[in-house]
Amino acid sequence: MLVVLEESILHTGSYENSRLVCSNTKPAKFWLPRQLRNNLSFQSRFFSRLLFITMPAAWRHVDELQLREALDSSAYTFAACKKASQDLEQEWLSLQEAEKDDDNIVSFDCALHESYCQELEIALYPTIRMYHRDGRMDQYRGECKARELAMFRNRVIRPYFLEADAQLLEHFILLDDVVIMMRPRSQSDNWDLYDRFTALAKKYRDQFTFLMGPSINDSSPSAAVVCYNNLDDMKHVAPDTESDQALEDFVALCAKPLIPELTQNNKARYVSTGKSILYYLATTDAEKEAYRAQIRPLAKKHAESLQFTVTDINKYPEMLGTDGVEAGSTTALVLENFTTGALYHFRGSVKLTVDDIEGFLEDISSGKLQPIIRQTGQEQHQVGRDEL
């Protein structure tokens, strides 16, 4: 059961290193590759009840007795605890529409049932959890978007890793945004790696899908552990599988987006790489996703020297009026070279094309485009060539 709990007073908080953020954009109604919906029998064997706890009048809440019965009787209960939020309501209704055959998607109001929410140890809002009848609980740490909620639900109601034979392997590889697979060698002792891999799958089952693929011959050049980043159409091979830390580092590599969303919290991480950063500032998720979709090939081409990013102006309005970006702008494209301190601003059409951006980068490299050099209290224009 997916449970949404909500209270009338807004609190903010974080869970470990991730914040639960709500978006006001409409999600895509596409949770899994279409071919998997009908072909994978395991999907029909694992059900949950989705319970969202919230307060808006549009929510159709269950009462305490109904919730207790659901938690006791359902094999899985997906519980989200949230305060009043129109943005979240849109996402939740979209999820219900996409999962209209599942009557286990319900909501619960913590403002009216405070003592029971305390019994469930709901301390911060929003909180989204998947409760399992065997006592296990998975906490959701992603964005309040229907697509991400549905993906999380699909992951945690399945076994922590799936076994894929050769016939279904290509379908399983498309099962999630990030899929990590181990292929045991047929004649080798795989138990140490198996133990490390399964421990990894248990730890990250809520974020990624793990596969145990068909075995390979000892003489095969195929890697024992690989991953597929289906969002960016990238495959990575684990260079080292001999330690827990090596596998942890590999998971981080697999999950790293080609074009991340830059925030004040993560900017230092990307600056520390020494690469120049190309900022695309936008006002809607649709703009950001359209930009990502068209620019991925170019981002791969320049990945060694240039980090492509997107930034939400709505969430970080303080970026307007700085770095030469005019206040009131709805979109902007800026390249920053942290070695020289130079800033380059794209002055062309608002409707960017790949050719526009590639031309922009070529003008920077050739010295044709004049940069702005950051200085304390003033900006000095300087013509020069930049290697990005």
Which pLDDT belongs to residue 178?
Answer: 97
222-264 pLDDT, tens digit each: 678 999 999 999 999 999 998 999 999 999 999 999 999 988 8
Which pLDDT belongs to residue 94?
Answer: 84
Q: What is the CA angle 16-4-55, rounded to 5? A: 110
Q: Which residues of the chain have pLDDT under 70?
A: 1-60, 76-77, 79-87, 186-189, 218-222, 318-328, 349-350, 373-388
- The answer to whether the CB of 309 falls within 8 A of the CB of 260 is yes
Q: Which residue matches tokens 């596969």?
A: 211
Q: What is the pTM of this model?
A: 0.77
DSSP type of residue 384: -
| Closest alpha carbon to 280 in 212, 351, 195, 339 | 351
Which pLDDT belongs to residue 307?
Answer: 96
| Closest alpha carbon to 228 in 290, 165, 173, 149 | 173
Which pLDDT belongs to residue 142?
Answer: 85
Structural domains in the chain plus CATH codes = 2-156 (3.40.30.10), 162-255 (3.40.30.10), 267-381 (3.40.30.10)
- Integer Cα distance of 8 and 187 in angstroms: 60
DSSP codes, 70-116: HHHH-SEEEEEE----HHHHHHHHHHHHHTTT-TTEEEEETTT-HHH
- Integer Cα distance of 198 and 210 in angstroms: 9
The sign of the torsion formed by the CA atoms of 135, 43, 250, 169 equals positive
- Integer Cα distance of 356 and 90 in angstroms: 35
